Structure 1
Amino acid sequence: MHPLNTPVRDWTGLRVWLIGASSGIGAALAQEALQAGARVALSARRAERLQSVADAHPQALVAAFDILDQQAWQQRHEQICAEFGGVDLIVFCAAEYHPERSWEIDAGRAAHTLQTNLGSVYTGLTTVLPAMLERGNGRIAIVASVAGYFGLPNASVYGPSKAALINLAELLYVDLRPRGISVHLINPGFVQTPLTAKNEFSMPALQTPQAAARAIRDGISSGKFEIHFPRRFTLALKLVRWLPYRLRFPLISRLVRT
């Protein structure tokens, strides 16, 4: 079957901007891309964490900034373009998560989570898209989550933010693919990260960040639109997604009680 995006045959020299590269999936994906020969700009707030990822990789560029600072996006983009000559692939991997039921939502914390998970992606898109559209090529990868497939307790703000990213990636593909820009939607299951460490429940099919990074790199390389993993878990969730509400709600309620 023909891939929905242009495959990446060779990562050597690919100019990657990785947002949220200081830990978890982002740090592992940075290492994966660097080892494949890409030039990677590493962004997050903590410069010392980024430097530890960049160590021993001369083609890595530490570009620390706060993704909630709109002016800083443009500054870092200019820095990366001056160093690399442009950005071929931007990966939005930064996220915030607080496990909470609906009656535990804090308005201020919810606003911060939505701005981190969703608002910053819009700022990043408005930063990188003009140059990509001008040259007629580029690649955007958005890390959402299977938590965005349907409403799940304990993900009262995180889940809706990821559902919005799924919607955004779908519309971006329709808009941008005819203009030469590839769009990848990444929906991980449970991955061992500082975010999932907050969970107090059993996480089925838990993966390491390194396994997640390999799945993402393989998916981008093969030109997939949706990259979801581990498939034994994500395919089951996709089936649940298709259930009518009359069947889905009781199933989810039973899972929450177990």
Structure 2
Amino acid sequence: MRPLNRCIPDWRGRRVWVVGASSGIGAALATELLQLGARVAVSARRADRLQALAQDHASAIVAPFDIVDIDAWGAQYRAICDQAGGVDLIVFCAADYQPERSWEVTAAGAAHTLAVNLGSVYTGLATVLPDMLARGSGGVAIVASVAGYLGLPNASVYGPGKAALINLAELLYLDLHPRGLDVYLVNPGFVQTSLTAKNDFPMPALQTPQAAAQAIRRGLARGAFEIHFPKRFTWAIKLVRMLPYRLRFAMMANLLKPQ
């Protein structure tokens, strides 16, 4: 079967913009692609971390800004294009997460999480898509999560936002692929980051950001639409999603019982 996207086996000279590159998956992926010869622009609020990531890579472009600042996107994009000549692939990695049950959610907290996890992706798309569509080439990679597969306690805002990103990636593929663009959906399981460090429960198949970056790079090389990992965990969640609600809710309720 033909891959759903163009395969990317060689990163030399490819221009990539990683949004959310100061830590976690974004930092690991940016480092991986820089080592493979890509020209990588790295963005996040923490300029010091971006500078530290870029210091050993002449082909890195440091572009710090607050991704919830709608007006800042255009200026940074123009600055990146001035240095790199354009963007071949944008990777949306930025995320916010607060473990909380539904009765603990605040309006301000929910608005901020959704602005980072979902709203910033729409702003980024509005920024880069006109040029990609004009030339008929380019790619968009959206990092969602297996938390978007199911309604899970403690992911009261994070989970629905990631579910929206999964839905968004699917419709983007239908819209953009016929016009020459590639769309990649990345659904990681648990990854060792400052966000998952907030969890107070065992996290099955926990992996390092470096392992996650390698899985993403392999998925891009295959031209996959959905890149999910680690498979032993993500396939199990996919199977649970197929259960009737009665069985699924009973299973989840059992997991939530005090031990």
How big is the shift at 1:135?
A: 0.3
**2:87 maps to which residue?**
87
**2:126 maps to which residue?**
126
How big is the shift at 1:253?
A: 1.3
Q: In percent, how many aligned pairs have the same letter? A: 70
What is the distance in 2 between the residues matched to 1:204 and 1:9?
30
- The C-alpha deviation readout for 1:28-55, integer Å capped at 9, x for no partner, is 0011100110000000000000011111
Aligned: 1:26 with 2:56: no
What is the distance in 1 between the residues matched to 2:121 and 2:51?
23
What is the distance in 2 between the residues matched to 1:231 and 1:144?
16
**2:136 maps to which residue?**
136
Equivalent runs, 1:1-258 vs 2, <5 Å: 1-257=1-257
How big is the shift at 1:254?
A: 1.4
Residue 237 of structure 1: SS of its match in structure 2? helix
Q: Which runs of 4+ in 1 moved over 3 A?
A: none
What is the distance in 2 between the residues matched to 1:253 and 1:72?
44
What is the distance in 1 between the residues matched to 2:126 and 2:111?
21
Residue 31 of structure 1: SS of its match in structure 2? helix
How big is the shift at 1:220?
A: 0.8
TM-score of the superposed pair, with normalisation by structure 1: 0.99
How big is the shift at 1:256?
A: 2.4
What is the distance in 2 between the residues matched to 1:256 and 1:51?
42
How big is the shift at 1:71?
A: 1.1
What is the distance in 1 between the residues matched to 2:205 and 2:223?
25
How big is the shift at 1:184?
A: 0.3
The one-letter amino acid of 1:104's match is E
How big is the shift at 1:255?
A: 1.7
What is the distance in 2 between the residues matched to 1:9 and 1:161?
31
What is the distance in 2 between the residues matched to 1:2 and 1:255?
40
What is the distance in 2 between the residues matched to 1:245 and 1:172?
28
- The C-alpha deviation readout for 1:174-224, integer Å capped at 9, x for no partner, is 000000100000000000000000000000000000000000011011100
How big is the shift at 1:9?
A: 2.6
The one-letter amino acid of 1:62's match is V
- The C-alpha deviation readout for 1:6-31, integer Å capped at 9, x for no partner, is 10131001100000000000000011
How big is the shift at 1:2?
A: 1.0
Please tell me the root mean square deviation across aligned C-alpha atoms, in Å. 0.6
What is the distance in 2 between the residues matched to 1:34 and 1:100?
36
TM-score of the superposed pair, with normalisation by structure 2: 0.99
What is the distance in 1 between the residues matched to 2:69 and 2:85?
23
What is the distance in 1 between the residues matched to 2:138 and 2:252?
39
What is the distance in 1 between the residues matched to 2:172 and 2:256?
34
